[in-house]
Amino acid sequence: MPSLQPYSTFGLAASCDSIQSFSDVASFLSIYKAHKNNTNKAIYILGGGSNSIFTDDFDGTILVNEIKGISHFDTESHHYLRVGAGENWHDFVTLCMKEKWYGFENLALIPGSVGASPIQNIGAYGREVNTLIDKVECVFLETGEQVLLGNEDCQFGYRDSVFKRALANKVLITHVNFKLPKHYELETSYGELAALTEPTPEKVYSKVIEIRRNKLPDPSELGNAGSFFKNPVVSKAVFQAIAQEYDSVPHFVVHGGVELPATEKEQIKIPAAWLIDQAGFKGKTLNKVRCHPTQPLVLTNLGGATGNDVITMAKDIIASVQGKFGIQLEPEVRLLGSKGLISL
């Protein structure tokens, strides 16, 4: 049984029945249909493996999306890009910076593939990818029908989309189409970017890379899946109750819109890293899983960690934050057991 360790940046020891890659829709459909006709076992489609953690041997087949290609045209007002889902995200962002197709600079150094970006609605330092997505090209797994979903069809939310809900496990994303305005405002209000003098896209890009390298462990050196939990969005009342107990609570006001599963026009996003730190987990180790000492939002594999270690640590963090603050943390990573996705 082939090892899944090279296919997941967290690097747990796990295996599966088989691993196959595909580079176009036709080859994908051929592999997928053959598998479905011959076995009832599970199939999991993988991109860069930076957001999937295999906590157990997977009783099925892994299909690796290697659809590549980047095409570009522009108008007087916009750049338009069509990008294969198997392209590496940061390599794509770096190419855009080189070509002066600006807009992605805040999203530099996020691990993973382009195809994963709409699923998670990836975001960092005040920018979310949904603001730059025009359309997403998909294939329905069961019928092979190819569809083009507009931005609104994708139902983007904070680290959320229709691909995690109504279309979860029903479609393959083949390409993402981006629409970048040539005239736009840089996003420099978030964190250390606010200190930039005379900011340019290049300065933002470089600063984001510097921040991420200083705070976040390199998956090639220390196994991890980036941010393990979402930053919770809470009501003003919940935030105010917490703020009364602490001298300073980092937070960001979120107004109604794409970021919110909102019942109010204004809610508050509290960094999960701060909550986890206050709950006493920063730098804490459970067997071979550690809550990272410079960014507690990241859990790391010190070498030889098990799926049970990861699940236990994550559940302990969730329970502690819930008990201390009354806030339920949700995983941002995708956890897989022997039969497929699992929840905590």
Cα(227)–Cα(121) distance, rounded to whole angstroms? 13
Catalytic annotation present for 227? yes
Cα(102)–Cα(105) distance, rounded to whole angstroms? 7
- Using the Cα atoms of residue 95, residue 100, residue 101 and residue 106 in order, give the sign of their dihedral: positive
Q: Among 26, 294, 33, 242, which Cα is nearest to 146's?
A: 26
Cα(157)–Cα(261) distance, rounded to whole angstroms? 7
Residue 83 bridge partners (DSSP)? 70, 176
Catalytic annotation present for 221? no
Catalytic residue among 159, 212, 290, 334: 159
Amino acid at 248: S
Catalytic annotation present for 71? no
Catalytic residue among 105, 137, 187, 332: 332
DSSP conformation letters of 318-337:
HHHHHHHHS----BSSEEE-
Alpha helices per DSSP H over the chain: 25-38, 89-99, 116-120, 201-215, 236-243, 272-278, 307-325
Answer yes or no: are the C-beta atoms of 90 and 101 closer than 8 Å: no
Catalytic residue among 161, 212, 227, 290: 227
Residues taking part in catalysis = 159, 227, 332
